[in-house]
Chains A and B, each alone.
Chain A
Amino acid sequence: QVQLQQSGAELVKPGSSVKISCKASGYTFTSYDMHWIKQQPGNGLEWIGWIYPGNGNTKYNQKFNGKATLTADKSSSTAYMQLSSLTSEDSAVYFCARGGRVLDYWGQGVMVTVSS
Chain B
Amino acid sequence: DIQVTQSPSSLLASLGERVTITCQTSQSISNNLNWYQQKPGQAPMLLIYYATSLQTGMPSRFSGQYSGRSFTLTITSLEPEDVANYFCLQHYSAPYTFGAGTKLELK
Contacts and interface: CB of A to CB of B under 8 A. Distances in A.
B12 to A, nearest CB: 20
Interface stretch (A7-15, A66-74, A75-83, A96-104): A96-104
Interface of B is mostly: loop
A102 B94 contact: no
Contacts of A97: 44
Contact of A62 (B55, B95, B96, B98): B95
Contacts of B97: 47
A61 B42 CA distance: 24
Contacts, number: 50
A106 interface: yes
A104 B45 CA distance: 7
Nearest to B46: A104
Nearest to B53: A102
A97 B96 CA distance: 13
B66 interface: no
